[in-house]
Amino acid sequence: MSEFSGHCLCGGVSFIATGDVLRVSACYCGMCRVQNGGGAFHGVEFRGELIPKNDTGLKWFAASDKAERGFCTSCGSSLFWRSKSDTTYYDVSLGALIDTSALKLDAHIFVDHKADYQHIPESAPHLTEADILANPLQDIS
């Protein structure tokens, strides 16, 4: 059981992420890149509960039929991703966490969806969409 505190740029959203850490990952899928400044969603994937402390600015955007993305409507910080069918499976932005000193990337995921301008370091294993479908952390279908 782990617990991490975090907040957005303006403080309109603050939270405590609790549960079991499934994986620390950077996701290069098209939607993560478009939402996040053309980079990747660097997050801690949890099985547990996301507890809001202040959700004044929080909005969930239904990005697909399977998942929603949480962000702050005051400052635009991208904060969360969660499965629609099972909200105990969620991903929290590493950029929002107050202390990341104990966290290292376990994997770069959806690397076959990266943009041409991106060079993904060899610092962690590279997983393609096919790798992830063959061995899912969580079935969100």
Partner 1 sequence: MTFHSGTCICGAVKVVGKGEIDHSHACHCATCRRQNAGGAFHGVAFKDGAEIKGDSVGWYGSSDYGERGFCSTCGSTIAWRMKDKPAIINLSLGLFENGTGAKIGSHIFSDLAGDYYTLGTDIPHKTAEQMFAEFSAMSDT
Q: Which residue shows structure tokens 């660097």?
A: 42
Residue range at the interface with partner 1 (CB under 8 A); choices 14-22, 82-90, 97-105, 131-139: 97-105
Strands 2-7 and 58-62, bridge-based pairing: unpaired
83 sits near partner 1 (criterion: CB under 8 A): no
Q: Which of residues 42-61 bind partner 1 (CB under 8 A)?
A: 42-43, 59, 61
Q: How many residues does the chain have?
A: 141
Minimum distance from residue 133 beta carbon to partner 1 (Å)? 22
- Computed from CA positions of residues 24, 27, 31, 35, in that sequence, does the dihedral angle turn out positive or negative? positive
63: contact with partner 1 by CB under 8 A: yes
Residue 79 near residue 131 (C-beta atoms within 8 A):
no
When asked if residue 33 is in the footprint of partner 1 (CB under 8 A), the reply is: yes
Among 5, 18, 23, 39, binds partner 1 (CB under 8 A): 39
In the list 55, 95, 126, 140, the residue contacting partner 1 (rule: CB under 8 A) is 95
Number of H helices, E strands in the chain: 2, 9
Residue 105 makes contact with partner 1 by CB under 8 A: yes
User: What is the Cα–Cα distance from 86 to 98, expressed in whole angstroms?
Assistant: 26
Between 100 and 139, CB nearer to partner 1:
100
